Structure 1
């Protein structure tokens, strides 16, 4: 299957907003550039009409330019290799591609080869989730990663000592990529499933549930997460803005979850709740 690449030239203040808007359309891979970002979506679900409706609305508020092109699936590696830079998160976690050297100071080392999947650590939400994971005891815990993308958070759970890890994604190629990354990082036992919240119904309870998706999906599926969360377990959420936090907290409180803390980066939020 081929992909559509949207190249957007827009100022930084609107880049995050447009990233979220495009995520609602099904774009699930993003690469920052010097004057905006590139966004990617599979050709089968791309709607130029819906894209233009969003971009035209924002063009009335801020100068922006964009272009659209098709990219063959086999050319994706070339795209991300040209743009992927290694990261060092929380003073402990190295996130890099296989062609980067491991930093000597890294306590945890994660190698990610994205292949069109969201979650390289470069987006604020992934970084925030990893920073929050570092504050939670994963040792010998059962962990669920919803909307796993590349599998980066599931792999991080493995690095932190989780004994059982389940990861869930709605796109088949993303599931394939997450499995490849799990094996590459020596976590072949990570159970990567294709589907949504329905795939976890009836599961044995989890000690920790991670969900970096978007506001609407989190609100729709939070009850499903709570249903498989152990008492005293942890729920870590991200994929939404600071202005969405009250709605997320209200929904969580209605399910008997207790707010503990949250982090913010460029208006994106990751929050921790406890059952």
Structure 2
């Protein structure tokens, strides 16, 4: 009897929303190729042919480390799950931008940001990305300089370029982010943006920036904040997201310790973005 074709294994995870976002990045390194974000859970898809007992051990350790729970796993018959996942990614219009994957056409009258997400964060389907895009037009001046910390797909760096920023640098610790971001720059026919693989040490010798953007998570933001503020020019703006509403007070206190004045807090769902001015 002929062997059946490999199917797809689907794993369901629960946990705080910010932890699930972090989990996506880690699962990509294990070979998971697509994800479905539900209000109460995250589903990850991996080709059955890639699955091993060693991966199961790594998955168990990862879920525990990130602070999520594996609540279900099941097998689906062979299907092109990447195509199914892609078909479910719809364009997002926010802040005058039209963020769309390559398989959707630009929209007349809106600033097009063509983003192929792959395994990097930043498709404008998450609240934190939309929050920053919604206010970016009022923060980027023509000819200004912008630092994009945790650049992911490069969507925020691209948006800053579309608004007229001149010197733009993005960095991300995720190994696939640099390649993905550079592909998206080429796809949008935008050059002159430096994308670096690594952490904030990759920009430590850069001159100060007029605008510093960081869409990461609370723990990393708090650790990185002194360096982010140092890299912001006096009188410049620091925009932070990846922050849940209950963490607003802690983030305000951390900014105050760095002699930054909180100018605005915007909210979408359970998430916030904070705009601050450096003294």
1:246 to 244, 249, 269: 249
Larger Rg: 2
User: How far apart in 1 are the matches of 2:117 and 2:59?
Assistant: 23
After superposition, the Cα gap between the structure-2 partners of 1:176 and 1:50, relative to the gap in structure 1 and judged at 3 Å, is closer
1:89 counterpart = 2:94: yes
TM-score if structure 2 supplies the norm length? 0.80
After superposition, the Cα gap between the structure-2 partners of 1:35 and 1:270, relative to the gap in structure 1 and judged at 3 Å, is closer
Q: Is the 8 A contact 2:172 2:198 kept in 1?
A: yes
2:194 to 191, 195, 202: 191
Q: Is the 8 A contact 2:25 2:119 kept in 1?
A: no
Gaps of 5+ in 2: 1-7, 29-34, 47-54
Gaps of 5+ in 1: 11-16, 57-63, 70-74
Q: Is the 8 A contact 1:117 1:149 kept in 2?
A: yes
User: How far apart in 2 are the matches of 1:151 and 1:76?
Assistant: 25
Aligned to 2:17: 19
Q: Is the 8 A contact 1:143 1:209 kept in 2?
A: yes
Aligned to 1:61: none
Deviation of residue 151 (structure 1)? 0.3
Q: Secondary structure of the equivalent of 1:27?
A: helix
Q: Secondary structure of the equivalent of 2:176?
A: helix
1:264 counterpart = 2:271: no
Aligned to 2:63: 51
Show the 5 A alignment for 1:126-275.
126-275=129-278
User: How far apart in 1 are the matches of 2:156 and 2:259?
Assistant: 25
After superposition, the Cα gap between the structure-2 partners of 1:134 and 1:68, relative to the gap in structure 1 and judged at 3 Å, is farther
Deviation of residue 228 (structure 1)? 1.3
Moved more, 149-158 or 75-84: 75-84
After superposition, the Cα gap between the structure-2 partners of 1:112 and 1:199, relative to the gap in structure 1 and judged at 3 Å, is same
RMSD: 3.0
Deviation of residue 188 (structure 1)? 2.0
1:67 counterpart = 2:67: no
After superposition, the Cα gap between the structure-2 partners of 1:146 and 1:39, relative to the gap in structure 1 and judged at 3 Å, is farther
Q: Is the 8 A contact 2:13 2:68 kept in 1?
A: no
User: How far apart in 2 are the matches of 1:171 and 1:193?
Assistant: 10
User: How far apart in 1 are the matches of 2:156 and 2:246?
Assistant: 24
- Structure 1 residue ranges (4+ consecutive) displaced by more than 6 angstroms after TM superposition: none
Deviation of residue 259 (structure 1)? 0.3
User: How far apart in 1 are the matches of 2:251 and 2:45?
Assistant: 27
TM-score if structure 1 supplies the norm length? 0.81
Deviation of residue 50 (structure 1)? 4.3
Deviation of residue 266 (structure 1)? 1.0
